[in-house]
Structure 1
């Protein structure tokens, strides 16, 4: 390629456009592959630092079928709020956050009764927190569901401390990534 001063502009524009397109590729990919729209009632909204959404305002609105389509995890554990060992099934929160392209170091969870809690996002990945939608093979009871953040409390005494108990929010309706 012979770039003499008179021809330099002819090559500069295509090169700059190529660089710009490569820089914007993640934006185009997210817009080209949005989350599908929920077909049932929305039971969880994820907002804030997410790359994949399905609403006009950039949030992820999820119904139960969308959550159940993700790989399920079942844990058996006792909890401070139930009698005896319980089996919980749901999606690993780490998987759910990856599914919506979350980027942030804090999660702000809001329940339908207006209880709110903010906690490190690393807690759900480091300690295997799940977003449970079943307890003992059935939908969560109405006083805890439809969604409950649950850990395997029997696996680590630290999970029984205030930090994790306050983040074990039931009746979860909104998760904000910050």
Structure 2
């Protein structure tokens, strides 16, 4: 009987070690902290964070994710405008997002929730530049969700226009 107890103890110990190993393997990846002024916080269902809970970005960190240009007219600008920003998909990849919905919040706390695939299928960007100039708060910056509005009439519907949040400060993955 003592031998069975020993085997039981060994099995329980191995099970405990294995479960600890599984927990360690699910630890969040560490992202570098911003060295410049923070312009964006990403929270929610993400596996890469700055502090174990959220991912924080300055503009240089966002720019390093790879710029993309969208040239389009918007209801809020005059004529066709060249926007430069990071693809939403690149941001989601950087934070290892696993959700299906994004809640995007502006500086004035306006929040729009949208399916992630709506943004990624449209190749939407978080714009930080308009016509060669960095977006300032008075210009709907520092970040603005931009769709290629001229590419498809569906991007000019009320739903997509509501998704075009400006003065973005927070993205929550759900």
* TM-score range for the pair, normalised by the shorter chain length: 0.7 to 0.9
Contact 2:126–2:145 at 8 Å: present in 1 too?
yes
Q: TM-score, normalised by structure 1?
A: 0.86
Could you say what the CA RMSD is over the residues aligned between the two structures, in angstroms?
2.0
Task: Give the counterpart of 2:105 among 80, 102, 110.
Answer: 110
Structure 2 counterpart of 1:59, from 48, 54, 58: 54
- Report what 2:33 is aligned to: 37
Question: Quick one: distance in 1 between partners of 2:51 and 2:12?
Answer: 35
| 1:102 to partner: Cα distance | 1.3
Among 78, 82, 87, the alignment partner of 2:82 is 87
Give 4+ residue runs of structure 1 displaced > 3 Å after superposition: 4-11
In 2: Cα distance, 1:121 partner to 1:169 partner: 14
Q: Whole-Å Cα distance in 2 between the matches of residues 14 and 74 of structure 1? A: 55
> How far apart are residue 20 of structure 1 and its match?
2.3
Task: Tell whether 2:131 aligns with 1:136.
Answer: yes
- 1:54-109 deviation digits (Å, cap 9, x = unpaired): 136x1111111110111111111111111111111111101101111112111111
The TM-score with structure 2 as length reference comes to 0.88
Aligned to 1:148: 144
Structure 2 unaligned regions, length at least 5: none
Moved more, 155-164 or 139-148: 139-148
SS of corresponding position for 2:23:
helix
Residue 15 to residue 47, structure 1, CA distance change in 2 (3 Å):
same
Specify whether residues 84 and 12 from structure 1 end up closer, same or farther in structure 2 by C-alpha distance, changes over 3 A only.
same
